[in-house]
Amino acid sequence: MRTEVIQVSDGAKLRARIYEPAGPSQGSVVIGGAMGVRQDFYAAFAQWLAGQGWRVTTFDYRGSGDSVPDTPHGRLRGFKANLYDWTRDYETVIDHAHAAQPDRPLYLLGHSLGAQLPGLLGNQHKVSGLLSVAAGSGYWRENAPQLKRIVPYFWFFIVPLATRLCGYFPGRKLKMVGDLPAGVMLQWRKWCLNPRYSVGAEGEAARQGYASVTFPVLALSITDDELMTLRGIHSLIGFYENAPRDIQCIAPEDLSVRRIGHFGPFRPEHETLLWPRMGQWLAGLSRSAVV
């Protein structure tokens, strides 16, 4: 593994990690992380994928993880970034990975937010497929039951107040999501309060962006996901209306474990049973069926 600094066209600098396979490469995988989740979290899985012959790139969106700039005014206070900026970050990392292996397929492995943003990408033609893991519409009424009971308080009280007071969302102190730029959090709030999520909040241009995706999309639904529901996953995958798409459901009992959850698929305890399945689904994306 090596670290690199990748510069976006607007000057933002992203910290990325490249995991090279020891032998011939099957192609490239770019892991798009979940909201507030550092690329560190995906390190073990990325290393394992590289061992299966993939060239893997992980990264932190601007204003998060290792891509937080050091400033004399408190790092994130007043830092300008929104979800369209994060989409440009994603594009830039895809360009970087594609340039390294232009003759090999490039797949996205999107965890939660990382599978929501590809519909807004401007370089979709460089992508050969998307494996969506625990990703659905974030519309609050489609959240898992336990989350749905508390999320109105989060969106209507905690987020506006904390963001206004701090100049960013202080998620680490609140033990919610993680520290995020104000623009990212407030735009995400707008999405999560709209029944059509990003497509409804951003309008026709966003709808057309998702509709323009033609690479295959395979969504992994975790039956004990504490955040996403199967209904929400169907909503998100439906935005990719012209893409070959399918949904695979997996339950803890399928792996003889007590729990998987929203973050479980990337935890090392699932290396033996779940990771090989994810590797097979990734390699088989080109054969995904339309639902």
Per-residue pLDDT averaged across 244-251, rounded? 96
Q: Which tens digits make up the pLDDT trace of 197-242?
A: 999 999 999 999 999 999 999 999 999 999 999 999 999 999 999 9
What is the per-residue pLDDT for 69?
A: 78
Q: Is the pLDDT of residue 290 over 50?
A: no
- Kindly state the DSSP code that residue 122 receives in the 8-state scheme: S
Q: Average pLDDT, whole number, for the chain?
A: 95
**pLDDT band, residue 78 (cuts 50/70/90):** confident
Q: Cα-flanking dihedrals φ and ψ of residue 82, to 5°?
A: -135, -175
Per-residue pLDDT averaged across 260-266, rounded? 97
Q: Which tens digits make up the pLDDT trace of 95-154?
A: 999 999 999 999 999 999 999 999 999 999 999 999 999 999 999 999 999 999 999 999
What is the per-residue pLDDT for 289?
A: 43
Query: pLDDT over 70 for what percent of the chain?
Result: 96
Per-residue pLDDT averaged across 62-68, rounded? 94
Q: Containing domain of residue 200, as a range?
A: 2-287
Q: Which tens digits make up the pLDDT trace of 30-51?
A: 999 999 999 999 999 999 999 9
50 CB contacts (<8 Å, ≥6 apart)?
1, 19, 20, 21, 22, 56
**pLDDT band, residue 70 (cuts 50/70/90):** low
- Residue 195, both tokens: 């029944």
Where does the chain have alpha helices with state H?
A: 43-51, 83-100, 113-116, 145-153, 159-166, 171-174, 182-192, 197-202, 204-211, 230-239, 274-283
The number of residues in the chain equals 291
In contact, 106 and 27? CB cutoff 8 Å = yes
Report the sign of the C-alpha dihedral through residues 174, 110, 221, 186, in that order.
Answer: positive
Report how many domains make up the chain. Answer: 1
What amino acid occupies position 200? G
> How far, in Å, CA of 277 to CA of 285, rounded?
12
Q: Specify the CATH number for the domain of residue 33.
A: 3.40.50.1820
